[in-house]
């Protein structure tokens, strides 16, 4: 099947725009604090710092990031905070199978700045965050320690015939 490249514009990261995929942490004085909680089915929450490098992803001839694989974790939420550079993340709702081109209409992308933080619902499909420049993005990461045992993925060209060109 030939691969089609579809443009996907980045949107603003707000509580409302991110709600189908997870939530944004709020101040402890915010009445919404505690409304959403982390979940670790295997009782293995783990905090670390991870990095994603520019060479982990393909880019279009124009230099735009290309999203060709999305991942998800069924047993736990994942919290991420960008520490050092601008980055981009793509997400799709947990209840979408990403088995057809029509499913790609549910994917959203967000441009991230240092100190932007978000939590992915269990099962939310995600790609990145990946850096926009030449420097790796460092991320404060809370997820299940055994995430590798719960790391499903979907190959977009194989399943949908398309890759997503992230328009930053």
Domains and CATH numbers, the chain: 4-26+36-167 (2.60.120.480)
Task: Centre a 10 Å sphere on the Cβ of residue 4 and count the other Cβ atoms it contains.
Answer: 12
pTM of the predicted model over 0.85 = yes
The pLDDT tens digits for 62-79 are 999 999 999 999 999 999
The pLDDT tens digits for 120-163 are 999 999 999 999 999 999 999 999 999 999 999 999 999 999 99
60 pLDDT exceeds 60? yes
Predicted local confidence at residue 23, as pLDDT: 98
Predicted local confidence at residue 3, as pLDDT: 87
């Amino acid at each position: 099947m030939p691969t089609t490249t579809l443009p996907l514009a980045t949107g603003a990261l707000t509580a409302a725009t991110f709600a189908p995929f997870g939530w944004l942490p709020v101040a402890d004085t915010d009445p919404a604090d505690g409304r959403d909680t982390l979940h670790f089915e295997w009782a293995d929450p783990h905090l670390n710092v991870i990095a994603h490098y520019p060479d982990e992803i393909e880019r279009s001839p124009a230099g735009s990031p290309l999203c060709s694989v999305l991942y998800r974790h069924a047993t736990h939420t994942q919290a991420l905070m960008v520490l050092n550079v601008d980055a981009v993340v793509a997400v799709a709702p947990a209840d979408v199978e990403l088995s057809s081109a029509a499913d790609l209409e549910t994917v959203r992308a967000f441009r991230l700045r240092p100190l932007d933080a978000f939590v992915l619902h269990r099962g939310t499909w995600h790609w990145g965050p990946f850096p926009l420049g030449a420097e790796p993005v460092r991320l404060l990461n809370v997820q299940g320690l055994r995430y590798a045992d719960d790391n499903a993925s979907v190959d977009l060209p194989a399943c949908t015939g398309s890759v997503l060109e992230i328009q930053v």
